[in-house]
Chains A and B, each alone.
Chain A
Amino acid sequence: MRVLAAMSGGVDSAVAAARAVEAGHDVTGVHLALSAKPGTLRTGARGCCTVEDARDARRAADVLGIPFYVWDFAERFTEDVVEDFVAEYAAGRTPNPCLRCNERIKFEALLDKAIGLGFDAVCTGHYARLSTASGRVELRRSADDGKDQSYVLASLTHEQLSHAMFPLGGSTKPEVRAEAAARGLQVAEKPDSHDICFIPDGDTRGFLTKRLGEQPGLLVDDETGAVLGKHVGVHEFTIGQRKGLGIDAPAPDGRPRYVLSLEPVSGTVRVGAAEKLAVTEIVAARPVTRIDFDGPVECVAQVRAHGGLAPAVAEVVGGELLVHLREPLSGVAPGQAVAVYRPDAAGDLVLASATISSAG
Chain B
Amino acid sequence: MAYFDHAATTPMLPEAIEAMTKALSTTGNASSLHTSGRRARRAVEEAREDIADALGARPSEIIFTSGGTESDNLAVKGVYWSRRTDRRRRVVASGVEHHAVLDTVQWLVEHEGAEVTWLEPDRHGRITPEALADALGDDVALVTAMWANNEVGTVNPVRELAALAAGRGIPFHTDAVQAVGAVPVDFTESGASALTLTGHKLGGPYGVGVLLLGRDVATTPLLHGGGQERDVRSGTLDVPAVVALAAAVRHATTEQLARVDELAALRDELVASVRRVVPDVVLNGDPVHRLPGNAHLTFPGCEGDSLLMLLDAKGIECSTGSACTAGVAQPSHVLLAMGVDPVAARGSLRFSLGHTSTAAEVRELAEAIGPVVERARTAGIAGMKRLKAEV
Contact = CB atoms under 8 A, between A and B. Distances in A.
B306 to A, nearest CB: 6
B391 interface: no
B289 interface: no
A112 B327 contact: no
A75 interface: yes
Nearest to A79: B383
A322 interface: no
Contact of B312 (A54, A67, A109): A67
Contacts, number: 69
Given A70-B326, A72-B382, A117 B312 contact: no
B328 A117 contact: no
B382 A51 contact: no
B383 A33 contact: no
Contacts of A71: 305, 328, 382
Contacts of B380: 112-113, 116
Given A72-B382, A117-B379, A67 B313 contact: yes
Contacts of A118: 375
Nearest to A104: B387
Nearest to A76: B383
Interface string B304-331: 0110111011000000000001111110
B387 A112 contact: yes
B378 interface: yes
Contacts of B327: 31, 33, 54, 58, 69-70
A117 B310 contact: yes
A207 interface: no
Contacts of B310: 117
B376 interface: yes
B385 interface: yes
B177 to A, nearest CB: 25
Interface residues of B, number: 23
Nearest to B331: A72
Most chain A beta carbons < 10 A, residue from B325, B326, B375, B376 = B326
B382 A76 contact: yes
Contacts of A54: 326-327
A108 B375 CA distance: 18
Most chain A beta carbons < 10 A, residue from B330, B380, B387 = B387
Contacts of B309: 28, 67, 69, 117
A38 B387 CA distance: 27
A67 B314 CA distance: 12
Given A116-B375, A117-B306, A117-B310, A70 B383 contact: no
B302 to A, nearest CB: 11
A113 B306 contact: yes
A66 to B, nearest CB: 11
Given A54-B326, A58-B327, A69-B309, A117 B383 contact: no
A344 B284 CA distance: 61
A104 to B, nearest CB: 8
Contacts of A58: 327
Contact of B379 (A28, A40, A113): A113
B335 to A, nearest CB: 16
Interface in A116-141: 116-118
A156 B303 CA distance: 26
Nearest to A2: B313
B389 to A, nearest CB: 8
A50 B127 CA distance: 36
B383 A73 contact: yes
A69 B304 CA distance: 12
A31 B305 CA distance: 12
A118 B376 CA distance: 9
A108 to B, nearest CB: 5
Nearest to A70: B327
Nearest to B303: A113
A113 B380 CA distance: 7
A116 B378 CA distance: 5
Interface in A61-88: 67, 69-76, 79
A78 to B, nearest CB: 10
Given A38-B326, A51-B325, A54-B327, A69 B379 contact: no
A75 B381 CA distance: 11
Nearest to B312: A67
A75 B375 contact: no
Contacts of A157: 389
B387 A108 contact: yes
Most chain B beta carbons < 10 A, residue from A67, A71, A117 = A117
A31 B324 CA distance: 14
Contacts of B382: 71-73, 75-76, 109, 113
Contacts of B328: 33, 38, 70-72, 74
Given A73-B383, A117-B306, 19 more contacts: A51-B325, A54-B326, A67-B309, A69-B305, A69-B308, A69-B327, A71-B305, A71-B382, A72-B330, A72-B382, A73-B382, A74-B328, A108-B387, A112-B380, A113-B379, A116-B378, A117-B309, A117-B378, A118-B375
25 contacts: A28-B309, A33-B326, A33-B328, A51-B326, A69-B305, A69-B327, A70-B328, A71-B305, A71-B328, A71-B382, A72-B328, A73-B383, A74-B328, A79-B383, A108-B387, A109-B383, A112-B379, A112-B385, A113-B306, A113-B382, A114-B379, A116-B306, A116-B375, A117-B309, A118-B375
Give 6 nearest A-B pairs by CB, closest first: A116-B379, A70-B327, A75-B383, A116-B378, A33-B328, A54-B326
Interface of A: 28, 31, 33, 38, 40, 51, 54, 58, 67, 69-76, 79, 108-109, 112-118, 157
